[in-house]
Amino acid sequence: MQEIRADHSETVSMPPFLAQEFVHLYGPGDHEVRSFFAPGRANLIGEHIDYNGGLVMPAAVTLGIAAACRLRSDHLVRLHSSDDPLAVEIDLDRPIEPDPARGWGNYPAGVLRELFLQGVDLKGTDVLFTTTLPQGAGLSSSAAMEVLTAFSFLALAKAPASDLRAIALLCQKAENQFIGVNCGIMDQFAVALGKEDCALLLDCESQEYHYVPVALGAHALVIMNTSRQRRLADSKYNERRAECDAVLQLLGADAPRNGLVHALWSDVLCHVSDPVLRRRARHVISEQVRVEQACRVLAAGDLAAFGRLLTESHASLRDDYEVTGPHLDAIVSAALQTPGCLGARMTGAGFGGCAIALVEQAEIPDFTALVQSAYLAATGLEPAFYVTHAADGVHETTRKG
């Protein structure tokens, strides 16, 4: 559990234009405009492990969504996003139900419904969201939107969040039930509980977590956006889940009760003859070992070894789990051929979206130029790059005084 300290807001800044844009949009008002920020997340290692009962290692990143909020004197919630022209209005005196016409507004609406069901005294509020996080690129803009909404409305209801884990679970429930996306707990946990220069080592089965220092020193985390939508991700995600279940069935009495990550490779060799299912199991079991190794090498400050683990993880996701696809493979391969890169891998569900690379800071301008031209030549798409590091989770950014 982490308390939000009153002085926490002093350590970060909100985009200076946000308050101005807010007043431009909603006009003057009696109450203070308060601002909040929720980061996106990159899973550093431990991919396709959450639903197999294992350990994942996400970090909150410096990209994220900011919200400017001001109480109203009635029971209306009005929402605008600088990233989407659809204006959203929610009447707190009526039941909040999913509504396709509400578009993106269903993400905050689902969270408001959960808060209401938990007895939070929601107040009429005007909100403006603005973002540096690409949507649908695997950096969890949905979780950022949800956690930001929960955190902001709790603060405005004078019930500030003291249990960020509870917020993460509430937001996951909203995404599962209101949006209908069967996501695990990783994204909302990372967005809520991220910590500067740390990754979260999260046990997806027990929901226990602790922080692992990610001191990058002369290196930075470069997020590489393939600019390729994750088209196959949903159907292949369900297919992989079914394949992991099939392996557990075949293991019979030797199947571990707490997920495929705990299976023994010798048991897989004994019970599973299908070569595809064997490869799926090999990814799950070996990826878990890599997460444990990553903890050790990060604790020892061995970034070169961490980089090698990232690259091995990508190879396993490409060859054994088959969720990378040509775009992620092209950008990772370009990154690995570029000086100053210690390792790279896809992050998120796969089939598009983003990859991460660990890159020497002095080399970053050359790195992005070389990867950009190699990737463009291979795919015809323009990639985008974001230089980042492990950052704090959701927090208030209102400037005091």
Residues that bind Mg ion (CB under 5 A): 142
From the list Mg ion, ligand ADP, none, pick the one residue 104 interacts with, judged by a Cβ distance below 5 to 8 Å according to partner type.
Answer: ligand ADP
Nearer to Mg ion, 134 or 343 (CB): 134
In this structure, the number of other CB atoms found within 10 A of the CB of residue 211 comes to: 16
Active site residues: 187
First to last CA, the chain: 29
Compute the distance between CA of residue 277 and CA of residue 113 in angstroms, rounded to an integer: 41
Classify 234 as helix, strand or coil.
helix
The answer to whether residue 21 forms part of the interface with ligand ADP (CB under 6 A) is no
Q: How far is the CB of 142 from Mg ion (least distance, A)?
A: 3
Nearer to ligand ADP, 188 or 288 (CB): 188
From the list ligand ADP, Mg ion, none, pick the one residue 145 interacts with, judged by a Cβ distance below 5 to 8 Å according to partner type.
Answer: ligand ADP
Cα 351 to Cα 10, 11, 138, 233, 324, distances in angstroms: 39, 37, 10, 6, 5
From the list Mg ion, ligand ADP, none, pick the one residue 152 interacts with, judged by a Cβ distance below 5 to 8 Å according to partner type.
Answer: none
Q: Say which residues have a Cβ less than 8 Å from residue 165's Cβ, sequence separation at least 6.
A: 1, 189, 192, 193, 207
Q: How far is the CB of 175 from ligand ADP (least distance, A)?
A: 8
Nearer to ligand ADP, 81 or 226 (CB): 81
Options 104, 151, 321, 386; binder of ligand ADP; rule CB under 6 A: 104
Q: How far is the CB of 217 from ligand ADP (least distance, A)?
A: 29
Q: How far is the CB of 146 from ligand ADP (least distance, A)?
A: 9
Q: How far is the CB of 195 from Mg ion (least distance, A)?
A: 21
From the list ligand ADP, Mg ion, none, pick the one residue 331 interacts with, judged by a Cβ distance below 5 to 8 Å according to partner type.
Answer: none
Nearest of 336, 32, 329, 2 to residue 151 by alpha carbon: 2
The answer to whether residue 107 forms part of the interface with ligand ADP (CB under 6 A) is yes
From the list Mg ion, ligand ADP, none, pick the one residue 83 interacts with, judged by a Cβ distance below 5 to 8 Å according to partner type.
Answer: ligand ADP
Give the pair of three-digit tokens for residue 143.
Answer: 């979780």
Pairing of strands 84-91, 76-81: antiparallel
Compute the distance between CA of residue 361 and CA of residue 206 in angstroms, rounded to an integer: 37
Helix 141-156 crosses helix 186-193 at what angle (to 10 degrees)?
A: 50
Show the site string, 57-76: x = touches ligand ADP by CB under 6 A, - = not: --------x-----------
Compute the distance between CA of residue 147 and CA of residue 41 in angstroms, rounded to an integer: 12
The answer to whether residue 83 forms part of the interface with ligand ADP (CB under 6 A) is yes
Nearer to ligand ADP, 108 or 340 (CB): 108
Show the site string, 120-149: x = touches ligand ADP by CB under 6 A, - = not: ---------x-x---xxxxxxxx--x----
Cα 280 to Cα 45, 47, 263, 290, 324, distances in angstroms: 17, 12, 12, 15, 13
- Identify the bridge partners of residue 291 per DSSP, sorted by sequence position: none
Instruction: Please calculate the CA angle 305-310-311 and round it to the nearest 5 degrees.
Output: 95
Nearer to Mg ion, 130 or 142 (CB): 142
Q: How far is the CB of 122 from ligand ADP (least distance, A)?
A: 20
From the list ligand ADP, Mg ion, none, pick the one residue 361 interacts with, judged by a Cβ distance below 5 to 8 Å according to partner type.
Answer: none
The answer to whether residue 197 forms part of the interface with ligand ADP (CB under 6 A) is no
Nearest of 144, 139, 138, 72 to residue 108 by alpha carbon: 144
Tell me which residues touch ligand ADP (CB under 6 A): 65, 81, 83-84, 104, 107, 129, 131, 135-142, 145
